[in-house]
Amino acid sequence: MQLLDGKKISEDIKDEIAVEVSQMKSRGEKVPHLAAVLVGSNGASLTYVGSKVKSCEKVGFESTLVTLPEETTEAELLLKIKELNENSEIDGYIVQLPLPKHIDEQKILMAIDADKDVDGFHPTNFGKMALEMETFLPATPYGIMELLERYKVETVGKKVVVIGRSHIVGRPMSILLSKKGYPGDATVTLTHSQTKDIEEITKEADIIISALGVPHFLKADMVKQGVTVIDVGITRVPDVDSAKGYLIAGDVDFEGVSKKAAFITPVPGGVGPMTIAMLLKNTLLARARRAK
Ligand code: GUN
């Protein structure tokens, strides 16, 4: 069994980005500038946005964190987005999801300038991805593609099962893995809450990507020998013995499944750090495009 070490690979990618940034600096060029918008104080979102900003500093990017109160109205958020679209200092930005319930998420994502949409959530960018045109790829699926590629996991002609059809992970993952050329060219089955007899489907899979959010859902008896398993789950489960009062649990019963797997990601330290590294890569691309 080979561990797919997202923490290590993400450090490698950040080192590569840092080298590029220092070259930009030595040429007297503007360095990439990422902004993140956080509405409210969802604990997990605070952690993620904090890591994104910290990673910017690490690679030499400029970063701006915009925090808005929970009560922010849709109109106020749209105004902030207009400001970020017009601010020529900012190369790319993200609006951390989920947003408070009184704000229409789709309306907000549509308002982001597609050329600054480093999350790749704008319909224009999502459409470009589906048409295999160059664009910002959503960071989590992009990170998984990078992980498969750097570990040379075979995908061409393989049976891939994606669990979960979210717009952020499952759906784009199914599109990327079925695209032409490695690390795509797979035969993809996208499963979801209405799927019947899911274990009959997962048992046939060469590669399983689980983005469900149900701790330890995927068990050893649901997979075949030699499977590759990518665990996107990051659910907080209460734990009185840990300092934070919770543990991060993946979708996969790692103990059991790892005994049958050829490749498997740990949680934490698998997909999570890759997401941030790919967001930085998208921001580097946004700067390069704007410099043209
Ligand atoms: N919430 C969970 N994942 C993501 C992500 O990749 N980007 C944003 N903006 N919000 C998220």
Going by pLDDT thresholds of 50, 70 and 90, the confidence category of residue 200 is very high
- Give the pLDDT confidence score for residue 166 in this predicted structure: 98
Going by pLDDT thresholds of 50, 70 and 90, the confidence category of residue 112 is very high
Quick one: average pLDDT of 132-145? 98
Quick one: average pLDDT of 174-203? 98
Cα 214 from Cα 252, distance rounded (Å) = 9
Q: Which domains does the chain have, with CATH numbers?
A: 28-113 (3.40.50.10860), 139-272 (3.40.50.720)
Ligand 1 centre distance from Cα of residue 172 (Å):
13
Quick one: average pLDDT of 88-100? 98
pLDDT single digits (tens) 227-275? 999 999 999 999 999 999 999 999 999 999 999 999 999 999 999 999 9
Assess whether the C-beta atom of 96 lies below 6 angstroms from ligand 1.
Answer: yes
Active site residue 96: yes
Assess whether the C-beta atom of 97 lies below 6 angstroms from ligand 1.
Answer: yes
Assess whether the C-beta atom of 117 lies below 6 angstroms from ligand 1.
Answer: no
Q: E strands within the chain? A: 2-3, 33-39, 62-68, 92-95, 159-163, 187-191, 207-210, 227-231, 235-238, 246-249, 261-264
pLDDT single digits (tens) 181-194? 999 999 999 999 99
Ligand 1 centre distance from Cα of residue 176 (Å):
18
Cα dihedral: 268, 142, 119, 190 (round 10): -90
Neighbours of 229 (CB within 10 A): 27
- Annotated catalytic residue within 52, 80, 116, 281: 52
Binding positions are: 164-166, 234
Assess whether the C-beta atom of 94 lies below 6 angstroms from ligand 1.
Answer: yes
Ligand 1 centre distance from Cα of residue 259 (Å):
31
- Annotated catalytic residue within 80, 91, 96, 251: 96
The three-state secondary structure class of 116 is: helix
User: Is the separation of the CB atoms in 277 and 54 below 8 Å?
Assistant: no
Binding positions for NADP(+) are: 164-166, 234
Amino acid (1-letter code) at residue 59: V
> How many secondary structure helices (H) and strands (E) does the chain include?
10, 11
Active site residue 2: no
Quick one: average pLDDT of 87-114? 98
User: Is the separation of the CB atoms in 117 and 85 below 8 Å?
Assistant: no
Phi-psi region of 216 (alpha: psi -120 to 50; beta: other; left: phi over 0): left
Assess whether the C-beta atom of 140 lies below 6 angstroms from ligand 1.
Answer: yes
Residue with CA closest to ligand 1 atom 4? 97
Active site residue 159: no
Assess whether the C-beta atom of 252 lies below 6 angstroms from ligand 1.
Answer: no
End-to-end CA distance of the chain: 45
Average pLDDT, the chain: 97
To the nearest whole percent, how much of the chain has pLDDT over 90? 99
Going by pLDDT thresholds of 50, 70 and 90, the confidence category of residue 42 is very high
Cα–Cα separations (whole angstroms), residue 49 to 38, 42, 43: 7, 11, 10
Phi, psi (degrees; rounded to nearest 5) at 122 = -65, 140
- Give the pLDDT confidence score for residue 229 in this predicted structure: 99
Ligand 1 centre distance from Cα of residue 97 (Å):
5
255 CA to centre of own chain: 24
Which atom belonging to ligand 1 lies closest to the Cα atom of 95? 9
- Residue the block writes with tokens 């469900």: 212
Which atom belonging to ligand 1 lies closest to the Cα atom of 140? 6
Q: Whose CA is closest to 158, among 191, 129, 183?
A: 183
